[in-house]
Chains A and B, each alone.
Chain A
């Protein structure tokens, strides 16, 4: 399984875009990139996933580099409620199991 590397923490100003990087240099061609987040004491929440094209939904955008060795999760207008731990996970599409690393602790400041 491809491993991921994320910065341990980052700060973001409220109302600004938050760009969360993730390195996955050993990713295989059939592995997807997933992002989840965990707000303090709650269960994780799915955000978005992608294979090689950029993806956007109501929560965020996912930008995957052409060589697929890294990706960036973009929260377009961060709010205080976006303060959470964000996990970047790489998995094949039919693999039922998720493996969560330490993630990035994002703190949105007013």
Chain B
């Protein structure tokens, strides 16, 4: 049982490049989330998916798109990366009717 996995672990992009961050969970959880964490700050919600087939904006969605590919996978896409998107990105999942979110190890993204 791997829990929540994220790929890649590290990425460096040039301004204007695009990329997709991958997240998968093997716990059969309904809800999945993408957060970003800037240095010295708490996590901020980018997008979430309450259940398969639905996605909604969080606190800081601008510059991002998401896809809930199936129940296991929730990807985050940066269409045109900007230096302001340099951050650590965390994916999380949550089972239905429970309170606890389970977090992945994070993807460290640098945009130059």
- 13 more A-B contacts (CB under 8 A) besides A32-B99, A93-B99? A41-B106, A42-B103, A43-B90, A43-B106, A46-B100, A46-B102, A49-B100, A96-B50, A97-B59, A98-B43, A99-B45, A99-B59, A100-B43
The answer to whether A96 touches B41 (Cβ under 8 A) is: no
State how many angstroms separate the Cβ of B106 from the closest Cβ of chain A. 6
Cβ-closest 10 pairs across A and B: A43-B103, A100-B42, A46-B100, A100-B43, A101-B42, A44-B103, A43-B90, A97-B45, A49-B99, A96-B50
In the complex the two chains form, what is the Cα distance from A50 to B82 in whole Å? 40
**How many residue pairs between the two chains, A and B, have CB atoms under 8 Å in the bound complex?**
55
In the complex the two chains form, what is the Cα distance from A96 to B35 in whole Å? 13
Report the interface size for chain B: residues with CB under 8 A from the other chain.
25
**Does B105 sit at the interface, judged by CB under 8 A?**
yes
Q: A102: which B residues are within 8 A, CB to CB? A: 40-42
Does more than half of chain A's interface fall in helix, strand or loop, or is it mixed?
loop
In the complex the two chains form, what is the Cα distance from A49 to B105 in whole Å? 22
Partner of A44, one of B44, B48, B58, B90: B90
Identify which of residues 40-80 in chain B touch chain A, using a CB-to-CB cut-off of 8 Å. Answer: 40-45, 48, 50, 58-59
State how many angstroms separate the Cβ of B1 from the closest Cβ of chain A. 16
